[in-house]
Structure 1
């Protein structure tokens, strides 16, 4: 092999290696550093939750007692399944406590959701689609006590647009509630604070006896993430 060719191959190898070993971008480095320091990330690993968002629901449920043994729960935008894990524990849908009533947990998401004992998942299903609503209804033994939604659209980089998309998704939950939620039931849904959130709050107030804004400690302080907790569902009159 000629010297020139050898030098070329060495140079190419070093160039490829440099690409493989390229340092993460600044934003990626900040994210990794935040994840390493986040106590909820560490706790989720320790307690075998699929992601840190489990602690948001745990905190809200500890305070407001939404999820009780025997309850029927629909988890909208369920992937990766952390909220469903909490729901399974709280409503006893896996039958872990034989002395308590056994509940039901059904979830849906556009993404694949890994199987979970005590939950039935509809992977690759759009929870905003009426066809998915009909499938959810078929899986429920009776009308749901609670609708959960931690879903969010993929970030576009335009905050107002992303907020509007999330509010639009949340509005479809009102249609789903009419189909599957029992009178007196509850809805917990995530939204991003912005100019469109007030319209969602007004619509929820028309069909729920109580609507409050909740921001759990597990929700990062610098995030515009909030939750509407709507209780005492009353079916709208048409």
Structure 2
């Protein structure tokens, strides 16, 4: 297993000794596009994702969280909400052994859901062009999951940026609350959730909702998150199943 601690040290060392790359052929591109390209060229986690064959740099966010809190274990069933392009699913497949790469530990199950098309991944079942907040999709998830329950729910979902920070924050809070609905429907007692949010005035609504159904809720910001980003993650553990919960 690739060590994130070693990766981070290596990335910081590399970025410190290599001059920043200057983007080429930028004529005609918008200033925002130019900034994005320049940032990608000089991001050590982008390079590491390419070297380690992850679909995008966000894989290292999940790796860092799981290295510390150990929520993904062989044999576990995982739902990856907003899975595209599939980097978190790649990490989940490796850690729950859903591709059966290790014959000495239990085989898990990973299902990813996204509104976009998902490129197939060995060890994962993908539901493309699907809305995880839709009750029919949630029913489909229950039918796919062993014992109709998940051990872990992951959400790296975010709305398309509107350019208005408060509006985007409000929309992501709504998404997080929809994930909380999914949790109450399919997560097994004792299960865990990782859910991205953008820090802001309404974040406490999500935290209060999660605190009502989990024994432990904390916020984490992996080192692989960009410093200028407002993104943070709720890590909720030890789900308390409400026996009076109504299932659709």
TM-score, structure 2 as length reference: 0.86
**1:220 alignment counterpart:** 226
Q: Which has the larger radius of gyration?
A: 1
Q: For structure 1, which segment, 165-174 or 87-96, has the greater mean C-alpha deviation from structure 2 after superposition?
A: 165-174
Give matches, 1:88-99, under 5 Å.
88-99=93-104
**2:193 alignment counterpart:** 187
Give matches, 1:140-155, under 5 Å.
140-142=145-147, 143-155=149-161
**2:238 alignment counterpart:** 232
1:199 aligns with 2:205: yes
**1:131 alignment counterpart:** 136
**2:167 alignment counterpart:** 161
Taking the aligned partners of 2:155 and 2:76, their CA distance within structure 1 comes to: 16
Runs of 4+ off more than 6 Å:
none
2:72·2:95 contact (CA, 8 Å) conserved in 1? yes
1:107 to 109, 112, 120: 112
**1:46 alignment counterpart:** 51
The offset of 1:23, in angstroms, is 2.9
Taking the aligned partners of 1:53 and 1:22, their CA distance within structure 2 comes to: 29
Taking the aligned partners of 2:146 and 2:133, their CA distance within structure 1 comes to: 21
**1:69 alignment counterpart:** 74
Alpha-carbon displacement from aligned partner over 1:116-174 (angstroms, at most 9, x marks no partner): 00000000001111111111111101211100000111011111111111111111112
The offset of 1:22, in angstroms, is 3.8
Aligned residues between the structures: 219
